[in-house]
Structure 1
């Protein structure tokens, strides 16, 4: 009986330590991260606050027939790790702007990472640099790692100018140097002066479709 009691206590102790270790790891991974979205309103953001709104802990873009425009952080960021989750609707198209000014097309005057429902029939003949996660016009991303439409996706973007990494649902879909990649010209054969920028605003770039975002957190790097 005593042996059984000792064994039970030992198992409980091991489980307790395992749970605490797991929790400690979780806290450690979040050290230094700050919320970009408070879950309640769009304080700290600028731009189109008509098509974009805070709802049930999410940023929702609902352009209702319009282009949707852009929503940017008030603050500018240089090197960073950005975590966020997104939920696509059928055929949805959006973008993540980085190092962007508040005026002009962020895909060129800053950089745009595609946020896109790749599986939609209307996107059957995209250029390689237009698929989800790609640095638009510059570096193509690997495909096949988006969750089905309607499910949430987790994405991490790590920027250490001029290097960038995009991790989608635990898989690295893009890793490269956008200045090196464009040295002999960009894939879309257009000028991208924003590739030289090492800081700017982070934003969601509307293209007329409904998309949901949540759990947006950032850690600035030196």
Structure 2
């Protein structure tokens, strides 16, 4: 997401003011005293402007006009731009309380994208035809397909009557989101679909917006906690072996695997990889979901062999090789193309770039293989969703004779250099 330069002088120490007592690990986004740390932006307007920075600057007088602080509450009169955090956030837990009135319509944008819906859920509110009768807390802008499971509609109606404070807790990791309204789970790990550019995944970072239109809304106790990679991975992984997943790496040795064992060491549940060569599971798989975590040193290059026969070059002779690559490293600056990005089906289908964590941090990845389709989700973000049966153009015009294999081994395809990988938490859920 392009960072917007906003000309405000912010004293971030004001975000933890007297009378604001965030829970342990959280910091206050609203200090209960003034609008420090916030600016006004209606992104539906500013994104259409030729000069977005100028468009945002022009909204600041309206922001001051329509937003105020009363008795420790952040108050909007139902008009004006949205309250927007100066700081941008990635993986977070957000907590807040709100109180609104009849006919009001609001929401919480995360990473600049709409939205966790807040609205009048009564019949008199006039929006039952849009799903208001289902309650607040859903992802209103998610697709209209599979609305009972994709988060668009909340799982339960949990709104309190007008005049009472409602609480929202949201956990947002990659494109995955969990939402609790008044301590009831209303969105359970659904994919939070981008709104402004549907050809790309959710931005890696962005601001929090408090939306307004249609009626007064009050906010208080607005807190955020940034999630470290290890914790984010635990939430993404969930109850790993209680949902049909079975380990394929025992954490002690490479029993159950075959191939080139040189440069592969196992200790403390981690497979450390310091050389090239390929290794494969002895078991063969058809349709499956594969989960694993990995770290790599700068510039490292490996691959995930999908439905391999255990011979040849998995990039061509297996169904595909999914890249495991530090694709932003300078060593690849002049040679890399989208079908080589991390997560891509090498030479056939390009993945979205920019969602790897910093070198040395653990990444979490899920790969779903079903028929000729492959999906790759990295750190909660879907970076590849392709059907290889539809791939007809190949990098360097080199064909992939193995792409329609229906069954094969799962493995890692190393590239001999001085770089190091570490893998852990390898597990598979069979779909067929």
The alpha-carbon deviation at position 114 of structure 1 amounts to 0.2
How many correspondences in the alignment?
Answer: 198
Q: Which moved more, 1:47-56 or 1:192-201?
A: 47-56
2:89 corresponding residue in structure 1: none
1:106 corresponding residue in structure 2: 314
Deviant stretches of 4+, over 4 Å: none
For residues 354 and 370 of structure 2, the distance between their equivalents in structure 1, rounded to whole angstroms, comes to 25
The alpha-carbon deviation at position 90 of structure 1 amounts to 1.0
2:246 corresponding residue in structure 1: 34
RMSD over aligned Cα atoms: 2.3
Are 1:124 and 2:333 matched, yes or no?
A: yes
For residues 148 and 103 of structure 1, the distance between their equivalents in structure 2, rounded to whole angstroms, comes to 33
Aligned equivalent of 2:364, options 154, 171, 177: 154
| CA 194–37 in structure 1, closer or farther in 2 if over 3 Å, else same | same
Q: Secondary structure at the match of 2:375?
A: strand
- Give TM-score, length-normalised by structure 2: 0.44
2:118 corresponding residue in structure 1: none
For residues 214 and 156 of structure 1, the distance between their equivalents in structure 2, rounded to whole angstroms, comes to 13
For residues 93 and 123 of structure 1, the distance between their equivalents in structure 2, rounded to whole angstroms, comes to 10
Aligned equivalent of 1:74, options 242, 266, 282: 282
| CA 155–26 in structure 1, closer or farther in 2 if over 3 Å, else same | closer
1:115 corresponding residue in structure 2: 324
Aligned equivalent of 1:84, options 273, 289, 292: 292
For residues 28 and 50 of structure 1, the distance between their equivalents in structure 2, rounded to whole angstroms, comes to 29
2:304 corresponding residue in structure 1: 96
Matches within 5 A, 1:1-222: 26-27=238-239, 30-63=242-275, 68-110=276-318, 111-125=320-334, 126-182=336-392, 185-208=393-416, 209-222=419-432
The alpha-carbon deviation at position 187 of structure 1 amounts to 3.5
- Give TM-score, length-normalised by structure 1: 0.83
Greater share of residues in helix: 1
**Does the 8 Å contact 1:91/1:122 carry over to 2?**
yes
> Which structure would you say has the larger Rg?
2
Structure 1, residues 80-126: CA drift from partner, whole Å, max 9, x if none?
Answer: 00000010111100000011111100100001000001121011120
For residues 251 and 261 of structure 2, the distance between their equivalents in structure 1, rounded to whole angstroms, comes to 15
1:11 corresponding residue in structure 2: none
Q: Secondary structure at the match of 2:280?
A: strand
The alpha-carbon deviation at position 164 of structure 1 amounts to 0.7
For residues 379 and 343 of structure 2, the distance between their equivalents in structure 1, rounded to whole angstroms, comes to 12
What 5-or-longer segments of structure 2 have no aligned partner?
Answer: 1-183, 186-234
For residues 259 and 424 of structure 2, the distance between their equivalents in structure 1, rounded to whole angstroms, comes to 18
For residues 321 and 386 of structure 2, the distance between their equivalents in structure 1, rounded to whole angstroms, comes to 14
Q: Secondary structure at the match of 2:316?
A: helix
For residues 289 and 369 of structure 2, the distance between their equivalents in structure 1, rounded to whole angstroms, comes to 6
Q: Secondary structure at the match of 1:122?
A: helix
